[in-house]
Structure 1
Amino acid sequence: MGERQVERPVIYIDPQKARDLDRDLAFQKLYYRPEGYYRTAEKMQTTCKRARYVFTLAVIKNWLNKQALYQIHKPRPKYIPQASFNNITVPMEIIQADLCYMPYDRIGNKTYKFALNCVDIATRTKWTYPLTKRDSASVAKGFVKLFNSRICPIIWSKVKVLMVDGGVEFQGNVIILMNEYGIQIQLANSKESMGIVERFNRTLQEWAFFIQDGVEMRLPPTERCRAWIKNLPIFLIELDNSVTRLLGISPAEARKKEHVFAKPSKPRKGPIGFDEPRLSHDVLVRYLLKPGELEGGRKRATDCN
């Protein structure tokens, strides 16, 4: 018998997997190089065309989204669904307060520099009290005069939580005052947590500057208008009777209800926040940080997503 012919092993290669492998290698050569690291799929597609590769934009986006480096440094999304304050439905239970810098308005012997702004989260009712100083004693005095006034419908016994930032003006006498009425002070961790009162600060400043510019047009070029306290009641009444976007009704009408249900400020097709389904333990997740969270401090231009 002759020698038995040795059979060569046959390796079956999937053509589609081979093409995918060649495509991934081409992407890696173009992306992971000093002149690479593109932040958008369009720039990556332009580079592929110069290298005589024909890849669709969808294929390039699919590959880039799987790269860890691209996930960290890709452009920040313009629309991010987030959980809002729509779970707070009882009026006058949770109040947000903040101190807003205003133009110096001199009335008599006093010069008012700040505005103590308060917003009820459930009804979006807003109040403002002018202050001359920003220390805790002045802020505590402003809370007393504001909550005890006739124009403010807040009842001390109904308020349960006062949300403020970590400023020193909300410490000291303010803490003592809130402890007397059994009100819990909750410190906000970020600007997003104080978004409602921060937006009111902007609205108040825009309104004041608009009127001041209108008055200055009739004054000599050397004179300036800094008045804003005189027309403050008119502004607050107008806001109180205006329909808000998330509630669909005015704050004056919302205060008459036992529960006020607001729409989410950033809607999404599906549950968000605590209502989202939990992932299984074997799923790998990469958490993308907000600006400044990695090293602390303020936002920088070089911060990752």
Structure 2
Amino acid sequence: MQGILTSSTIAKCLEKIYDNPKNPLIWLKVFLSDKGSEFKGECEKLLRKHGVRIQKAKSKKTMELDDLPGIIDSIVEDLNNSVTCLLGISPAEAIKKKNVFAKPSKPRKGPIGFDVKRLFFDDSVIYLLDPSEYEGERRRATDMNWSSKIYNIRESLVQKNQLVLYWLIDDEGNGPERSFVREELQVIPPNVEYPPQWVLAN
């Protein structure tokens, strides 16, 4: 019957998750479950095939508390020393490095990093407002979507396989502390005259 969990169903779900060719995962070291029959048979065979240690709870509501500290330590150690898909190295190795390059969690359509067409320092831009910059941190229908001031590019950061980051500065030498990606900036053409600041501020 469909909808009933069996060991075969659980095994197929685990294989679908961990052996997905588009997003392969490293098989876990410890598998915690109750003593239900759905975690025996095919499920147990699959886990043992991949070297997974199976930890059974006494019931659905309790588990071996004596083993819990060791299990937690094992899980934390495994997480710290497992190679991640985005970094290509383990977190334990990553924290020892000065710089770490991570792959984007979602493939980006179009150029990125050194291949992207970048903004110049003399480009005039406005930036997309963050919710925290609205009064009461909530946008009203009459609020602007973009900054009321025009800025220039103060600094940019280009890294391999990463989005280009920009920092802004206005005519008075001030600017937002946060950085922006290209999609958060709108270039103001040189022949466009922006309304006076007193108009935009009201």
**TM-score (norm. length: structure 1):** 0.20
Q: Which has the higher contact order (CA 8 A, sep 6+)?
A: 1
The TM-score with structure 2 as length reference comes to 0.28
- Structure with higher Rg: it is 1
